[in-house]
């Protein structure tokens, strides 16, 4: 055993003496940078485009790599991020390779440094991006995220964005002392700017445009996303959606059922991720739709604290329009429908307007007339059991709905929210969805 350890140490010594095999340690190889300035003034990068299932150790050939090698290397990547930033207690193992470069690139900056990466835009909208999003919102000034209608690299089959950030607001030592729910997180009061250029970068990237974008301020804050749209600045060259990072965190935060908002933001629950690209960078979409076509939708019982839902607390809004295309042309919402027909595809690659679920409609985007239900109740009966009173809002298909005369609604609501109804659900419901969850028959 001792002989083997000695032999391994000799190999390590040989590698350290070989310039081609020497270990690279930023703090040692750039000792003067980290010693005198605490890191670099700027970090610019274009990380490799490697999907998560293809991540493998760089020191092994493709033929040598095993599934276990991949798993071990990915675990080491995750641990390396945790060592840099103590608050990162979890990173999705489905993260593409470039996500790890974001964290390591940020760790190389001094306190006044600037970070600039060009990468795939996938982290803005997919599930694995939520951990990076939350880290940025809490600790890193998101100066701007730039997009444009032309791919940056013609040979690459991915859509890219340019991300420009400031340095993490506190040092590594103090960063590790912050708790996940702390309101002291230094970047929450920063303003993130989502910039969609309307022409290729080479045509619109000028000092004049960048200075104008830098001067844009947030007018609306601590409000619903439909109100934050008032912050949008639209010109012939670009559209900018500036938003407070605290509002971005709130927009993606999932509170537990029955949580009292009076206790404060982010005191309970967790960040569920958000679709930044779809909400803030899409060229035709949410930011152009008139409010009359955006209907609040109840998605989960977690969104209400009583039997009378407050739709101002609903997380989602639905595009709800029964106008024909001819009638819709005078509205900005027409551009949304027009864009969707030409850009959105089904899993089979068909235009969304020709999907089987909408093919038979006169207007594919129309949900038809929706009568407001008197009572709403969940198909699945779990820890929470209550019948909700309906209102001027839509509900998703995880709910059953009942309609009755308005004068009878209050009486029916009061009589049905009781222990006997819960007992009936326990006895009659089919328990096919796990322990403690019943399905109404």
> How far is the C-alpha of 194 from the C-alpha of 179, rounded, in Å?
28
- Structural domain span for residue 73: 24-283
163-181: pLDDT as tens digits? 999 999 865 444 444 444 4
* pLDDT recorded at residue 284: 46
Is residue 133 predicted with pLDDT exceeding 60? yes
Q: Is residue 91 part of a domain?
A: yes
Going by C-alpha positions, the residue among 394, 409, 401 that lies closest to residue 378 is 401
Q: Is residue 231 part of a domain?
A: yes
Region 111-136: mean pLDDT is 93
Is residue 135 predicted with pLDDT exceeding 50? yes
Q: Is residue 385 part of a domain?
A: no
Q: Is residue 85 part of a domain?
A: yes
Region 125-134: mean pLDDT is 91
User: Domain tally for the chain?
Assistant: 1
Indicate which CATH number applies to the domain containing 121. Answer: 3.40.50
Percent of the chain whose pLDDT exceeds 90: 25
* pLDDT recorded at residue 61: 77
Q: Is residue 143 part of a domain?
A: yes
Q: Is residue 52 part of a domain?
A: yes
> How far is the C-alpha of 319 from the C-alpha of 337, rounded, in Å?
10
pTM of the model: 0.66
Going by C-alpha positions, the residue among 283, 286, 143, 125 that lies closest to residue 199 is 283
Strands in 121-222 per DSSP E: 142-147, 160-166, 191-197
Q: Is residue 223 part of a domain?
A: yes
Mean pLDDT of the chain: 80
352-390: pLDDT as tens digits? 888 888 878 888 888 887 767 777 766 666 556 677 777
> How far is the C-alpha of 419 from the C-alpha of 101, rounded, in Å?
54
Q: Is residue 400 part of a domain?
A: no
């Amino acid at each position: 055993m001792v002989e083997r350890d000695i032999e391994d140490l000799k190999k390590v010594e040989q590698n350290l003496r070989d310039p081609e095999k020497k270990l690279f340690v930023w703090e040692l190889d750039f000792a003067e940078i980290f010693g005198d300035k605490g890191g670099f003034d700027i970090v610019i990068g274009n990380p490799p485009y490697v999907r998560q299932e293809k991540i493998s150790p760089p020191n092994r050939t493709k033929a040598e790599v095993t599934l276990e090698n991949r798993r071990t290397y990915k675990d080491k990547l995750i641990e390396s991020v945790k060592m840099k930033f103590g608050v990162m207690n979890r990173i999705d193992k489905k993260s593409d390779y470039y996500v790890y470069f974001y964290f390591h690139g940020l760790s190389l900056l001094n306190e006044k440094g600037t970070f600039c990466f060009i990468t795939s835009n996938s982290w803005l909208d997919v599930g694995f991006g939520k951990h990076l999003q939350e880290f940025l919102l809490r600790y890193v000034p998101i100066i701007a995220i730039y997009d444009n209608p032309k791919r940056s690299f013609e040979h690459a089959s991915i859509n890219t964005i340019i991300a420009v950030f400031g340095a993490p607001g506190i040092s590594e030592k103090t960063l590790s002392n912050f708790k996940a729910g702390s309101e002291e997180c230094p970047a929450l009061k920063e303003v993130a700017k989502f910039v969609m250029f309307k022409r290729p970068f080479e045509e619109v990237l000028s000092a004049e445009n960048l200075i104008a974008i830098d001067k844009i301020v947030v007018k609306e804050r601590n409000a619903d996303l439909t109100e934050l749209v008032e912050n949008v600045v639209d010109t012939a060259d670009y559209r900018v959606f500036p938003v407070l990072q605290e509002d971005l965190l709130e927009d993606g935060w999932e509170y537990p059922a029955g949580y009292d908002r009076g206790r404060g933001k982010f005191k309970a629950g967790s960040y569920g991720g958000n679709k930044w690209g779809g909400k803030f960078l899409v060229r035709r979409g949410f930011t152009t739709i008139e409010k009359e076509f955006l209907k609040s939708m109840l998605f989960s019982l977690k969104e209400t604290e009583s039997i009378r839902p407050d739709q101002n607390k609903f997380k989602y809004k639905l595009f709800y329009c029964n106008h024909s295309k001819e009638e819709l042309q005078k509205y900005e919402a027409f551009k949304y429908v027009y864009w969707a027909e030409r850009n959105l595809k089904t899993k089979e690659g068909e235009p969304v307007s020709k999907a089987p679920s909408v093919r038979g409609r006169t207007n594919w985007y129309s949900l038809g007339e929706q009568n407001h239900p008197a009572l709403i109740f969940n198909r699945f009966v779990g820890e929470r059991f209550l019948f909700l009173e309906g209102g001027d809002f839509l509900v998703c298909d995880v709910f059953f709905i009942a309609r009755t005369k308005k004068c009878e609604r209050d009486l029916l609501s009061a009589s049905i929210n009781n222990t006997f109804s819960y007992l009936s659900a326990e006895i009659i419901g089919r328990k096919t969805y796990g322990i403690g969850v019943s399905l109404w028959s």
